[in-house]
Chain A
Amino acid sequence: MSQHNSLERQIELYKNALERERLSRERAEDLLESRTSMLYLVNQKMSSQYEQMAKRNKEISYLNSVVWILNESNCNEEIIKKYLDLTCALTGWGPAGGFLFVDEDLNFLNSNLVVSSKNNMSGISGFENLSKELHEIAPKKEEVNKIFKKPRKIEIGKNSYFIMPMEVSKSIDGLLIFECSKDLDESSAIIDIVANGSYQLTNYIERKKSEEKLKNNFAKLKDTQAQLVHSEKMASLGVIAAGVAHEINNPICFVLSNTETLLKYIKSLESLIYEYRDLANKKLDKESIVQIHKKEQEEDVDYILADCPELLRETVEGVNRVKDIVSGLKTFSHIDEADEKFVDVNECVESTLKIIWNELKYKCTLHKDLGELPKTYCYPGQLIQVFTNLLVNSSQAISEKGNIYIQTLYLSNEIIIKIRDDGSGISEENLKNIFTPFFTTKPTGKGTGLGLSISFGIIKKHNGKISAKSKLNEGTEFQISLPIKDSL
């Protein structure tokens, strides 16, 4: 019995053990299931995150590409076309086109059209038709600005289009148009990405536009400056032209008159020679000798013979003077010469004096003290323009009679040029402004107000300095210092 009992108890024990095992297996299975499903969920989540990351990646690479094409492309049309292609590739939209408004009217019919590479569906003619449709929706600037201010989807016929403005300088310069699916969600994230791309694009176009404007303005400024320099030169020329006219006309006057006189002399001598020839064939008698003497007196032949060398000497002198004046003018016309030359600045001073001596000599006594100078690289024509300017100013500051002192010297590797007059002088107030463009105390039409400012510019270009000291009623002194430049 006891054996039977113990068997039963053992069976009981096994049963219990079995039950426990079953329960724990069930528990383990449950656990496994829940873990598996958890794993599955995690997996799913990861895969969706991966997808999102891939998408993000695609978007970032899209934006990167947009920035890249901006830097790599030459013209706006090329940039826009590449942008359209990139965007079509990212979104699956397309074909796409960009309308660039030509004029202020923002008229679709009068705009440049850029089409994406993917244009098989509607093609260029499709976009041209589209421009007509759009023109009907928004015929003028006002409507365009209102309807397309923000990116939006519109339906035309059977098709849907996603449209973004290209806003440059706060006004719409063009539109980017993508054929898209009817159920494009206007609030979807992709719209933001694409809009960001178009923002980069328009920003770039705007920057390029203002750069171009800046470049144009700069070119215009340079042009104006050149014109001003030229007109100043003309003004200086005007001042000396009067002197030159007088100075050339004087020698021409006596050269011309002398030449005509010489012609008359020749005629007199000629007629006398004929008389003598006649006489040579005749027998000499007293009467014919008296006759020929009378003829000689009539023709003033002693005077003519004595005067001929004098007349010719004066005439040659006159012609030489004209030659000198003309060669002086030639120096002046070389003012615009672009090349630096290795010259003695004293030569520039001498050339200047040659040109404007006619202007100075009537009222100024010139005191010249030109020291020995080393040669230096400079723009000789421009220095002549500066010296002309200062000397003409000095001469104009002298009302009746006065002195002009020109001194050059070489001091611690610099060439110093001093031009001083004892004319009317400049007031303290005006002295501050003399190098300011357009500042002049001369009456309208007499001075451009540019002479000294241009001189200032020229000296600065030579890395030199120009300064002025002056006292009213005592005179003015300009000092120029030019550093020696012994190689180019």
Chain B
Amino acid sequence: MILFLDDEINVLRSIERLFRAKKIVIHTTTNPEEALRLIKEKEVKVIVSDFRMQEVNGIEFLKKVKIIQPTTYRMILSGYADENLINSAIQNEDIHEYLLKPYDQESLINKIKTIYLDRGGDGSTNTESR
């Protein structure tokens, strides 16, 4: 499963459109609790989280993800984040990567796809239920 967490529904909608066009199925949610529940229940190969959210900040959220499912590839996708926080989070391996908003469609999709396949995602992502 590929999971996106962002408190801005419109961002998630734009990402859904992007991946739909490439026939890659993704899951999105604006609710961190919901995201954690999915991670507890299913195998999530890649998680992409916003940094600044009303409920929680992205790094704190991904720390929880790391505990529940350490194999998940954890990314931050944000328009702004405290660089010091990001760098130390990368050093602690709380997060693997930091991507900037606005994203470039091609590179975002290629990056996610590559990581997903590397982690044993079965190429035919479109078979997964949305």
A contact set with B: CB distance below 8 Å: 242-243, 245-254, 256-258, 260-261, 264, 300, 303, 307, 310-311, 314, 317-318, 361-362
Please determine whether A261 and B79 come into contact, CB atoms closer than 8 angstroms: no
Give min CB distance, B109 to chain A, whole Å.
11
Q: Are B20's CB and A246's CB within 8 A? A: no
Q: Mark B91-108, 1 if CB is under 8 A from A, else 0.
A: 000000000111101000
- Which of B15, B80, B105 touches A249 (beta carbons < 8 Å)? B80
Q: B10 contacts which of A303, A307, A317 (Cβ < 8 Å)?
A: A317
**Given the complex, which residues of B lie within 8 Å of A361, measured CB to CB?**
54
How far does the alpha carbon of A260 sit from the alpha carbon of B10 in the complex, in Å? 15
- Please classify the interface of chain A as helix (H, G, I), strand (E, B), loop, or mixed, using the class held by over half of its residues: helix
A257–B102 touching, CB < 8 Å: yes
Picked from A253, A314, A317, the residue with its CB within 8 Å of the CB of B103 is A253
Interface contact B10-A254, CB-CB below 8 Å: yes
Interface of B is mostly: mixed
What's the nearest-Cβ distance from chain B to residue A154, in Å?
A: 75
CB-contact partner of A300 in B13, B15, B21, B53, under 8 A: B21
Tell me the minimal C-beta distance from B23 to chain A in angstroms.
9
Bound-state CA distance A248–B78 (Å) is 11
Whether the pair B53, A362 counts as a contact (CB closer than 8 A) is yes
Q: Which 7 pairs show the lowest CB-CB distances between chains A and B?
A: A249-B79, A254-B14, A246-B80, A257-B14, A253-B102, A253-B101, A245-B80
Q: For residue B82, which residues in chain A have a CB less than 8 angstroms away from its CB?
A: 242
CA distance A260 to B105 in the complex (A): 8
Closest to A246 in B: B80
Task: Report the nearest A residue to B103, measured CB to CB.
Answer: A253
Beyond A245-B80, A246-B80, A362-B53, whether A252 also contacts B17 by CB under 8 A is: no
Q: Residue B18 contacts which of A261, A300, A362 (CB distance < 8 angstroms)?
A: A261
A75 and B2 CA atoms in complex are apart in Å by 83
8 additional A-B residue pairs with CB within 8 Å, beyond A253-B101, A257-B17, A300-B20 = A245-B79, A246-B80, A248-B79, A249-B78, A253-B103, A254-B13, A257-B15, A261-B21
Can you name 16 A-B residue pairings with CB atoms under 8 Å? A245-B79, A246-B79, A246-B80, A247-B79, A250-B11, A251-B10, A252-B101, A252-B102, A253-B11, A254-B8, A257-B14, A257-B18, A257-B102, A260-B105, A261-B21, A311-B13
**What is the CA–CA distance of A249 and B21 in the complex, to the nearest angstrom?**
23
Q: In the complex, how many residue pairs between chain A and chain B have their CB atoms under 8 Å apart?
A: 70
Given contacts A245-B79, A245-B80, A300-B21, contact A362 B102 (CB under 8 A): no
User: Once the chains are docked, how many angstroms separate the CA of A57 from the CA of B97?
Assistant: 97
Complex Cα–Cα for A232 and B118 (A): 50
Asked if B52 is an interface residue, CB under 8 A from chain A, the answer is: yes
**A445 → B minimal CB distance (Å):** 12
Q: What is the CB-to-nearest-CB distance from B4 to chain A, in angstroms, rounded to a whole number? A: 12
CB–CB A257/B103 < 8 A: yes
How far, in angstroms, from A128 to B100 measured CA to CA in the complex?
Answer: 75
- The proximity string for B residues 45-73 relative to A, scoring 1 for CB distances below 8 Å and 0 otherwise, is 00000011110000000000000000000
B79 touches A254 (CB 8 A): no
- CB within 8 Å of A: which B10-40 residues: 10-11, 13-15, 17-18, 20-21
Question: Nearest B residue to A242 by beta-carbon distance?
Answer: B80
**A258 near B17: Cβ-Cβ < 8 Å:** yes
Q: In the complex, what residue of chain A is closest to B81 when comparing beta carbons?
A: A246
* Nearest chain B CB to A65 CB, angstrom units: 74
With both beta carbons as reference points, the residue of chain A lying nearest to B100 in the complex is identified as A249
Residues of A contacting B51 in the complex (Cβ-Cβ under 8 angstroms): 246
Bound: A362/B52 CA distance, A: 8
In the complex, how many angstroms separate the beta carbon of B59 from the nearest chain A beta carbon? Answer: 14
Provide the residues of chain B in CB contact with A248, threshold 8 Å: 79
A residues within 8 A CB of B21? 261, 264, 300
Q: Which residues of A contact B15 (CB under 8 A)?
A: 257
Instruction: List B contacts of A264 (CB < 8 A).
Output: 21
The answer for the CA separation of A248 and B11 in the assembled complex, in Å, is 12
Bound: A361/B53 CA distance, A: 9
- Nearest-CB residue, chain B, relative to A311: B17
A361 to B7, CA, bound (A): 12
Interchain CA distance A311-B20 in the complex, whole Å: 14
Complex Cα–Cα for A303 and B15 (A): 15
- B105 is contacted by which of A247, A257, A314, A362 (Cβ under 8 Å)? A257
Name the residue among A250, A310, A318, A361 with the largest chain B CB count within 10 angstroms.
A250
Task: Give chain B residues whose Cβ lies under 8 Å from the Cβ of A247.
Answer: 79
Contacts of B103 in A (CB 8 A): 253, 257
Least Cβ–Cβ distance between A176 and chain B, in angstroms: 68
Q: Nearest chain A CB to B3's CB is how many angstroms away?
A: 18
Cα–Cα distance between A243 and B79 once the two chains are bound (Å) = 10
A251 — which chain B residues lie within 8 A by C-beta?
10
Smallest CB-CB separation from B13: which chain A residue? A314
Cβ–Cβ < 8 Å partners of B101 in chain A: 249-250, 252-253
Chain A's nearest CB lies how many Å from the CB of B13? 6
Task: Please indicate which of the listed interface residues B10, B51, B79, B82 has the most CB atoms of chain A within 10 Å of its own CB.
Answer: B10
CB-CB nearest in chain A for B6: A250
Verify A246–B78 contact, CB threshold 8 A: yes
| Residue in B closest to A307 when the chains form the complex, CB atoms | B17
Contact status B17-A253, CB under 8 Å: no
B126 to A: closest C-beta gap in Å: 12
Q: How far is the CB of A486 from chain B (nearest CB, A)?
A: 42
Q: How far is the CA of A252 from the CA of B11 in the complex (A)?
A: 9
Instruction: Chain A residues near B80: list those with CB within 8 A.
Output: 242-243, 245-246, 249
Question: In the bound complex, how far is the Cα of B48 from the Cα of A232, in angstroms?
Answer: 37
For A363, the closest partner residue in chain B by CB is: B54
